[in-house]
Amino acid sequence: MRISTNSFFESSSSRITELQSQISATSDQIASGKRLLDPSSDPVAAAQIIGVQQSQGINIQFSKNITSIQNNLGIVDTTLSDIVNNLQGIHDQIISAGNGILADGDKAAIALNLQGYYDQLLSLSNSTDTSGNYIFGGQKTDAAPFVKHATQAIIATDIVRLGAYQVSVGGKFIVPESNTTWLDATGTPLATGSVLLAGETFYSAETGSPATYANAPSGSATLKTETIEYNGGDTQNQIQINTSQHIKASVLGSDMFSKGDIFNKLQAAITALNMPSTTNPNSVQSSALSDLSSSFTTTFAAVSIAQSSVGTRLNSLDSIKSANESINLQLTQTLSGLQDTDYNKAVSDLTRQQFILQAAQKTFAQIGRSSLFDFIA
């Protein structure tokens, strides 16, 4: 078979160029650490890499979600522990107040303690996370879930004396303005802002004389007083933690505090305990404390259930986080197998390619120097 000089040079040059390209590609793989530098060199592997990267991105987001909800539930769990301690303190005060032989000063001291627990409990119920979101307001995280609200309190008329009113249990009367309509027992107008507590009496008349009640209202009247109401949402925010699971980020304040009942029962008990014995029948105090005790029992049970639920979720999240980390490790290993350089193989390939190139170059040089005169000689 005859091979022309021109054909020999072309084929040899092409082979050497091909070997040089292979060496260059292998060198780039070693330098970059990436096996797949051009998707067109392995379209199947390139498509697999895209799929694995997408799965990895989703799994990383799930891991971030898990960390976020763990942090949030950690704050909720700590707050619930503080609430439990607060409620236990309230219970201790209820027991102390149940002693029927307490003097007015002792009852006032208990009322002061209860007021402290009331303020603390209201603050805890309106706790926020590190971002300033209210944790017990459900989906309404931008506003305090428990708020003071003006409502109507029934003021019962004293049937013995027309125009005499007694503040009802759980209520209080704040004098709206100083005039001749709201009077004390001597007929002196009550000062603006004066506070009358449950059981205390005031008088209403169109004249300044306490002896004249002809124009005073009869029957019963309603006056505004402050109560605590739940203003949060009715559903909880849920965060996705894997392809099939969502977990609630907190607990509803309304589920624990019966939409504010515990606060109102506390305020009623505080009011009753602050009333002097001369205007406070034991039945009023006993009734207020009984209502508070009942509300405490319900609230404590609800908070305990919430605390247990949060603990269960935190334990579950630990397991799910561990599983997610295992999945992420598997995806990382798969991605590495598809795109990362196998250095042992790459170095071996580079050595082999360089050896073949050197052999091809020597062969080309030797044959290229040969001529017909070499054979004649």
Question: Which residue, among 255, 263, 312, 327, has the nearest Cα to 114 in the 3D structure?
Answer: 263
Q: φ, ψ for residue 228 (rounded to 5)?
A: -100, 130
CB 220 within 8 A of CB 183: no
Tally of domains within the chain: 2
Domain shared by 53 and 120, yes or no: yes
In a domain, 64, yes or no: yes
Domain shared by 62 and 89, yes or no: yes
In a domain, 278, yes or no: no
Domain shared by 130 and 207, yes or no: no
Domain shared by 128 and 216, yes or no: no
Q: DSSP readout, 184-244?
A: -TTSPBPPTT-EEETT-EEEE-SSS-TT--TTS--SEEEEEEEEEEE-S-SS--EEE-SSS
Domain shared by 182 and 61, yes or no: no
CATH code at position 324: 1.20.1330.10
Q: For residue 358, how many other CB atoms are within 10 A of its CB?
A: 11
**For position 78, what pLDDT does the model report?**
95
In a domain, 10, yes or no: no
Task: List the chain residues with pLDDT less than 70.
Answer: 1-13, 16, 18-20, 22, 24-33, 35-41, 100, 149-189, 196-226, 275-284, 339-343, 346-347, 349-350, 353, 355, 357, 359-361, 364-377
Cα–Cα dist 85/202, whole Å:
39
Domain shared by 327 and 243, yes or no: yes
In a domain, 352, yes or no: no
Q: DSSP readout, 86-109?
A: HHHHHHHHHHHHT-TT--HHHHHH
Q: DSSP readout, 107-166?
A: HHHHHHHHHHHHHHHHHHHT-B-TTS-BTTSTT--SS-SEEEEEEEEEEEEPSSSTTEEE
Degrees, nearest 5: CA angle 309-314-315:
100
Domain shared by 242 and 324, yes or no: yes
Tokens for 172? 């209080």
In a domain, 94, yes or no: yes
Q: What is the pTM of this model?
A: 0.63
**For position 86, what pLDDT does the model report?**
96
Tokens for 82? 């503080």
Q: What is the pLDDT of residues 115-147, one digit of tens each?
A: 999 999 999 999 999 889 999 998 898 999 988
Domain shared by 166 and 76, yes or no: no
What is the span of the domain harbouring residue 336? 34-140+238-269+287-340
Domain shared by 257 and 208, yes or no: no
Cα–Cα dist 150/259, whole Å:
15
CB 220 within 8 A of CB 191: no
Domain shared by 335 and 302, yes or no: yes
In a domain, 5, yes or no: no
In a domain, 255, yes or no: yes
Domain shared by 120 and 38, yes or no: yes
Residues in the chain, total: 377
Domain shared by 243 and 323, yes or no: yes
